[in-house]
Amino acid sequence: MHNILKKMKVKCNNKTCSDYGEIREVEDWSGTDSYSLYLIKKCPICGSQRKTIELKVDPAPEGFNVYFGKFSSMNKEDQKRVLKKRSQDHFKKNIKGKKDYMDRKFYGLED
């Protein structure tokens, strides 16, 4: 599995914690589940969630563009607009010429 994060720095914001305000570098997160991220960000001293200060993200592999998350996070109106545009583009590219020909043939304008 390809790691999403290489290095992560966190800071405890609990004013009563002895580690308050200290920036710590924590272990790499595999990116597989949010619970492991929760455990990594948990302060070992006070138990509260530390704030993420710095993330170093690996770039996506060349030629690998997946937009499933982007589409599923859109609201219904945006999803409808994207699908309608995709359908219209497909129609113009693959179907319109054949449809126009068949219409002309039906009305006797095409031999």
Strands in 23-26's sheet, in edge-to-edge order, are 23-26, 5-11, 51-57
Measured distance CA(1)–CA(33) in Å, rounded: 12
Q: What is the pLDDT of residue 73?
A: 82
- From CA 6, how far away is CA 62, in angstroms rounded? 18
pLDDT at 1: 43
What's the average pLDDT block by block, 10 residues per block, for the chain (111 residues)? 62 89 81 80 88 67 62 86 93 91 87 72
In this prediction, residue 40 carries a pLDDT of 84
